């Protein structure tokens, strides 16, 4: 399958991954490649306008997400969103030193190109960092307690989230997000919209997102979106979701 070009890309990616991993244990969060900031005990997540390296190798989420899907998804689909986002941002005078989150909060002021590609870039950066090899369990703590308090049980939460993902007609995303009162919410958005956007029906801070565009699963699952969703829970990185919740 991989051309020599893709093999080179893969090797480059693995070495970048090793660089990210080497940061662990230093106290630097690798959630968004170390871009989490601490400010008066409140932590903000800051996404830039460039792709960060995948925090694992393409094959690491097998068999849930196959290697070829991971490669094409990251190197072609997500790379195109990032490229087109920078293109739109440049044309529309956006300060690319500011966090992307700020731009998405006022995205109605900008073009459809910026909305689609800004959402596309943000959503995928969040998505890659919401998964890890073998998954990471949801540990006891305030986040797990809140989840159980609001949804009844972790199983009930997963069932409701899975329904939101299954029922999103066409392309889009399912979300767990925190609203302005730090209450947990489940919802979905069409296309590359997300709860950060001022034009979105659901609003808040995304904690966990699931890509249900066909490009995310079609090579392996074809029309069986439900099977993709059921398998996906095995690779969810709950540690990163909890950290994001604690930072809201």
- Residues forming contacts to Mn ion in the complex (CB under 5 A) are 211, 213, 216
Cβ 101 to Mn ion shortest distance, Å: 19
Angle at 202 between CA 213 and CA 166, to 5 degrees: 35
Q: Which residue minimizes CB distance to Mn ion?
A: 211
What's the CA gap between 129 and 136, in Å, rounded?
Answer: 12
Q: Which is nearer to Mn ion, 216 or 241 (CB)?
A: 216
200 Rama class: left (phi>0) / alpha (psi -120 to 50) / beta: beta
Cβ 225 to Mn ion shortest distance, Å: 13
What's the CA gap between 42 and 182, in Å, rounded?
Answer: 13
Q: At which residue do the structure tokens 């989230």 appear?
A: 161
CA 22 to chain centroid: 22
Structure tokens at 74: 């990251």
Cβ 228 to Mn ion shortest distance, Å: 12
What's the CA gap between 45 and 2, in Å, rounded?
Answer: 34
> How many Cα atoms sit within 13 Å of 86 on the Cβ side?
10
Cβ 58 to Mn ion shortest distance, Å: 15
Cβ 138 to Mn ion shortest distance, Å: 24
Q: Which is nearer to Mn ion, 161 or 213 (CB)?
A: 213
Q: Which is nearer to Mn ion, 79 or 138 (CB)?
A: 79
Q: Which is nearer to Mn ion, 90 or 224 (CB)?
A: 224
Distances (CA, A) of 84 to 77, 113, 114, 134: 11, 8, 8, 32
Give the relative orientation of helices 154-167 and 142-151 as an angle to the nearest 10 degrees.
70
Q: Which is nearer to Mn ion, 215 or 239 (CB)?
A: 215
Q: Is 194 exposed, middle or buried (0-12, 13-18, 19+ CB in 10 A)?
A: buried
Q: Which is nearer to Mn ion, 43 or 225 (CB)?
A: 225
Cβ 212 to Mn ion shortest distance, Å: 9
């Amino acid at each position: 399958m991989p051309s020599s070009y893709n093999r080179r890309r893969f090797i480059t990616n693995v070495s970048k991954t090793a660089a990210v991993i080497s940061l662990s244990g230093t106290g630097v969060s690798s959630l968004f490649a170390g871009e989490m900031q601490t400010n008066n005990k409140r932590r903000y997540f800051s996404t830039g306008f460039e792709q960060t390296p995948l925090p694992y190798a393409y094959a690491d989420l097998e068999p849930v997400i196959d290697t070829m899907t991971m490669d094409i998804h990251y190197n072609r689909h997500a790379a195109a969103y990032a490229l087109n986002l920078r293109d739109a941002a440049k044309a529309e005078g956006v300060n690319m030193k500011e966090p992307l989150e700020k731009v998405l909060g006022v995205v109605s002021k900008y073009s459809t190109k910026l909305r689609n590609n800004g959402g596309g870039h943000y959503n995928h950066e969040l998505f890659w960092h919401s998964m890890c090899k073998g998954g990471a369990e949801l540990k006891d703590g305030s986040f797990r307690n809140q989840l159980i308090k609001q949804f009844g049980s972790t199983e009930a939460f997963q069932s409701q989230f899975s329904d939101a993902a299954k029922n999103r007609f066409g392309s889009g995303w399912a979300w767990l997000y925190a609203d302005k009162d730090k209450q947990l919410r489940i919802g979905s958005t069409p296309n590359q919209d997300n709860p950060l956007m001022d034009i979105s029906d659901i609003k808040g801070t995304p904690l966990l997102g699931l890509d249900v565009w066909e490009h995310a699963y079609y090579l392996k699952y074809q029309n069986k979106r439900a099977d993709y969703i059921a398998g996906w829970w095995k690779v969810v990185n709950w540690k990163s979701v909890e950290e994001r919740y604690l930072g809201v």
